[in-house]
Amino acid sequence: MLLSLLFSTAWADVPDWVDVGFMYDTEPMLVAADPYINYAHGVELHLDLSRGFTKPETAWNEFDHWALTVDVQQFSDTGDLGAVMGVVQSPQEIFNPAGVYLGEFSFKREAGDGWLYLHVGSMSADMDFVAPDVTGLYVHSAFNNQYNISMAQFPISPFNSLGGVVGATLSEQLEVKSGLYQLSRIRTDESLRGWTFDLSPDNGVVGFLQLNGTFDREPVNNLPQAGWQVGTFASIDEAQMDRDTNHGIYGNLTLDTTEHSVAWVSVNQGLHPSINPVPLWVAGGWISDGKFVNRPEDLVVTGLSWSQYSFEDLENREILAEVEYHLMVNDYLTLLPNVQYFLDTPNPNGVLPVTAGVGILVER
């Protein structure tokens, strides 16, 4: 089950240059192969400040391009459902160790009708890289976080690190981005939740280079925008040489298959398979709207993910399928029946568990 409550400035009497948000997610899941129910939930508080909110982009001066973002998240759960099931990746997108996290504290320069994009501060790499919008429609963590590029101290939401991103708009459909993030044991320590800032020279760094492209046609109803990403990442050893390098490449493609459906595929290849916990990750899916008369906003969401944990032992892998339906009850309420089936897992007992839930999304 997924329950989200989103509030915007329409719910509060605040100046036009202030954008505030609150989100509550909850994901109770039932393991069909075992009488076990797991519950995870998260609370997010979000604040954006920018004078550009009050003006059209064509009228922006330099100060209007800039925004301050502060994001705080809290997580609670009844346990790691993946560990209970014997799978590697959690079936719940919002599962994280319980606690209050500093999700982001950053300054951002939006390009507007210009070309220069900047993003600096304490933030997660998936704010700018690796995560296409289409994956946000799925519940399983493999689709949302693409763990194949995970490495020690890797800053992926809600974990964050000190970093900076520079981007350039090359055309209406093409953008290039480059980013550099600190790999810090302190910043991603689960007991500290990103609240301690550390600039020790013993920490490593990870860099990204990515091209983003979009296609001309605007999406209809609730379908995601069609487009593509190609990128590469590389990490540098710590000064003490106690962590090996980790390099890789990745690509994401979302295509309009018909006027009312899109298909997508993602491939991430780690170039150091003896180091990267997921040296190969491949996933794809199909999303369609309007399958029933008088319900044009509803979505059918399907996805398949293959995580290969070893190239020497091809049986060491995890394959899962996810199917869900987004039932738009009204403009604010969506029901999301969801089923996940693990076709293969590294579990030595050979268990192929099924999880299920009925999500609720309340949005304003």
Alpha-carbon distances, residue 46 vs 7, 101, 232, 285 (angstroms): 10, 12, 29, 30
Look at residue 350 in the predicted model and tell me its pLDDT. Answer: 62
- For residue 156, the SS3 value is coil
- Rounded Cα gap, residues 273 and 18, in angstroms: 46
Look at residue 264 in the predicted model and tell me its pLDDT. Answer: 96
Look at residue 288 in the predicted model and tell me its pLDDT. Answer: 93
Look at residue 9 in the predicted model and tell me its pLDDT. Answer: 44
Length of the chain: 364
Which residues, in sequence order, are bridge partners of residue 308?
A: 280, 317
Look at residue 201 in the predicted model and tell me its pLDDT. Answer: 61
* Domain range 9-362, its CATH number among 1.10.3190.10, 3.40.50.700, 1.10.3720.10, 2.40.160.180: 2.40.160.180
Look at residue 71 in the predicted model and tell me its pLDDT. Answer: 94
Residues of the chain with pLDDT under 50: 1-3, 5-10
- The answer to whether residues 260 and 221 touch, using CB atoms and an 8 Å cutoff, is yes
309 token code pair: 């944990």
Domain boundaries, the chain: 9-362
Q: Is the dihedral of CA 189, 181, 41, 348 positive or negative?
A: negative
Look at residue 61 in the predicted model and tell me its pLDDT. Answer: 94
- The answer to whether residues 150 and 156 touch, using CB atoms and an 8 Å cutoff, is yes
- For residue 127, the SS3 value is helix
